[in-house]
Amino acid sequence: EPEVTQTPSHQVTQMGQEVILRCVPISNHLYFYWYRQILGQKVEFLVSFYNNEISEKSEIFDDQFSVERPDGSNFTLKIRSTKLEDSAMYFCASSVGGSMYEQYFGPGTRLTVT
Amino acid sequence: AQSVTQLDSQVPVFEEAPVELRCNYSSSVSVYLFWYVQYPNQGLQLLLKYLSGSTLVKGINGFEAEFNKSQTSFHLRKPSVHISDTAEYFCAVRLLSSGSRLTFGEGTQLTVNP
């Protein structure tokens, strides 16, 4: 069964450093998403991406964040200058269509900012 | 704006007992409703969804949920749980009118004891 994969599973970085979290969505999916979950808190929507552009973003997704689909398979989330409060589990998801369709989630990348 | 409340952060039950995990939502417009499960060190997996039609929805692993529009609830039930059902369960909503972002509840940790 096809699945969403994410690398790395755990990333440790120092405050102020740039990080890139990588995701490989399911191959025939067209919509891509990033969510995050700070320890002990809700899973929060960050951004959705369709047709090579951001279709929706939350208030969390400020100028420090960017997303890219650099080739036909990868979907990346970049944080330019990490802060301590960026420490969280980051989930990538993809779906074949828009709002009616199931979002398939990856296993997550745990980002720790020290 | 929509919001989701899961009233119980932890639910301990004995094996083969019935369980109900509660979810209430608030939204001024119609929504799609979802339940996801997260096993340890894994991503979120869809259990079931309500889009329209019958208010009783059956999902995987013997779970079902009932959409109650008047009470704005979408409680998850299973008549007899197994040890393997131990996991975190998340209720989520998505607006019909716009976007595809999921708004999640806080999660309920279900622990099934022998």
Position A102 scores a pLDDT of 87
The predicted-structure confidence for A50-105, as pLDDT tens digits, reads as follows: 999 999 999 999 999 999 998 878 999 999 999 999 999 999 999 998 877 889 99
Residue B60 pLDDT exceeds 90: yes
Position A97 scores a pLDDT of 87
Mean of per-residue pLDDT scores for chain B: 92
d(CA B93, CA B46): 13
Contacts for A65 with CB less than 8 Å, ≥ 6 apart:
A46, A47, A77, A78, A79, A80
Task: Tell me if B101 and A58 make a contact (CB, 8 A cut-off).
Answer: yes
Q: By CB neighbour count within 10 A (0-12 exposed, 13-18 middle, 19+ buried), where does B70 fall? A: exposed
The full DSSP string for B15-62 is TT--EEE--EEE-SS-EEEEEEEE-TTS-EEEEEEE-SS-SEEE-GGG
Tokens of B71: 């009470």
Q: What is the DSSP letter of A58?
A: -
Q: Among residues of chain A, what percentage have pLDDT more than 70? A: 100
Q: 3-class SS at B97?
A: coil
Mean of per-residue pLDDT scores for chain A: 94
**With contacts defined as CB-CB under 8 Å, which chain A residues touch B104?**
42-44
Comparing CA positions, the residue from A44, A45, A46, A48 lying closest to residue A31 is A48
> What number of other Cβ atoms are within 10 A of residue A52's Cβ?
7
Task: Tell me if B43 and A99 make a contact (CB, 8 A cut-off).
Answer: no
Q: Among residues of chain B, what percentage have pLDDT more than 70? A: 97
Position B98 scores a pLDDT of 62
Residues in chain A: 114
* Residue B95 identity (one-letter amino acid): L
Q: Among residues of chain A, what percentage have pLDDT more than 90? A: 85
A91 and chain B: CB distance < 8 Å anywhere? yes
Tokens of B99: 């976007």
Position A83 scores a pLDDT of 96
Position B97 scores a pLDDT of 67
Name the band, by pLDDT with cuts 50, 70 and 90, for residue B66: very high
Among the ranges A2-6, A22-26, A98-102, B69-73, which has the highest mean pLDDT value? A22-26
Contacts for A53 with CB less than 8 Å, ≥ 6 apart:
none
Position B52 scores a pLDDT of 86
The tokens 């009616």 sit on which residue?
A100
Q: 3-class SS at A24?
A: strand
**With contacts defined as CB-CB under 8 Å, which chain A residues touch B43?**
4, 91, 105-108
Contact between B44 and A105 (Cβ < 8 Å): yes
Task: Tell me if B103 and A33 make a contact (CB, 8 A cut-off).
Answer: no
* Residue A69 identity (one-letter amino acid): R
